Amino acid sequence: MKAVNIIRLGLIAFYALLWVGGVMSYLFMGGPPEDVAWTAPIYLATAALLLLGFAPASERIVLLIGGLIGFAAEILGTHTGFPFGHYEYTAILFPRLFSVPLVLVAAWLLLFAYVRQMTINPLIGALWMTAIDLVIDPLAAHTLGFWTWEKGGWYYDIPWTNFAGWYFVSLLLFAIFRRPAELDFQAQWLGLSIILFFTVIAWGTGLVLAGSVGVALLVLHVVCMYQAKSPPGQRTLSATSATTSHEPGFDNPDRSANTITINR
């Protein structure tokens, strides 16, 4: 087994351990013990390392820039209240730069990478990102204690400006990067696992509305994956010389003539 595969499997195993440990600790212990508070930032950092380390080369710079744009928006938000509203990070997520945890770069790029796999439509992509935050924010601001809001709102005491800000920043990301993303199953399962993580904890801690949004997002993921595999109207298959295995060049590993395009 190649060294890169061993590293990848090790990171996946470590991520899975943190995922299960995080879910179990919040469901049955009210949160991780104080001596393992480092697991929260390491969980996001590990996911980002898995994503960037093994993503298609053309996607890495796009995702990294997307994460940095989201991080810049967080810095602006914590210091001015725009575009999310007035809030402050607690000591749980560390280290920080300009009062914002560095792992927020990872959080933004992970969600951006996931939704880019689902759609490249800016309006739909921004709405999808905002819907994910409807699941994450009630837990992160209260149960997990990652940040606190200065003023509340009707949705789990979170101001509406937060979700307007998420839509605005996400819309900016999708408007800048209009090129379709390369197919990346790792980005898909990492994003899905994060949504599942918060959905399970939401239901386990009685946040029914947030948990219901999470279930809807999980169902939407399944529907999108099913439609992507549906033949008519979903795929255009161009195989100029694949009618028989005896045609010249069929066994050539470079099959650039055979392309599959999924219309999204």
User: 249 is written with which tokens?
Assistant: 């060049």
Locate 13 and state its tokens. Answer: 């195993």
Q: Are strands 147-149 and 100-101 parallel, antiparallel or unpaired?
A: unpaired
Per-residue pLDDT tens listing for the chain (264 residues): 688 889 999 999 999 999 999 999 999 998 888 888 889 999 999 999 999 999 988 899 999 999 999 999 999 999 999 999 999 999 999 999 999 999 999 999 999 999 999 999 999 999 999 999 999 999 999 999 999 999 999 999 999 999 999 999 999 999 999 999 998 999 999 999 999 999 999 999 999 999 999 999 999 999 998 888 765 444 433 333 333 333 333 334 343 333 333 444
Residue 262 is predicted with a pLDDT of: 40
What's the distance, CA 72 to chain centroid?
Answer: 18
What's the CA dihedral at 217, 218, 224, 227 to 10 degrees? -140
Instruction: Report which residue type is found at 29.
Output: M
Three-class secondary structure of residue 100 per DSSP: strand
pLDDT score for 231 = 59
Listed in sequence order, the residues at least 6 apart from 18 whose beta carbon sits closer than 8 Å to its beta carbon are: 39, 42, 43, 46
Whole-model pTM? 0.85
Please name which of 225, 210, 186 lies closest in space to residue 131, comparing C-alpha atoms.
210
Place of tokens 């945890």: 101
Query: What is the DSSP secondary structure assignment for residue 184, as one 8-state letter?
Result: -
Pair of tokens at residue 61? 């710079």
At 227 the pLDDT is 85
Report the pLDDT value the prediction gives residue 232, as an integer from 0 to 100.
46
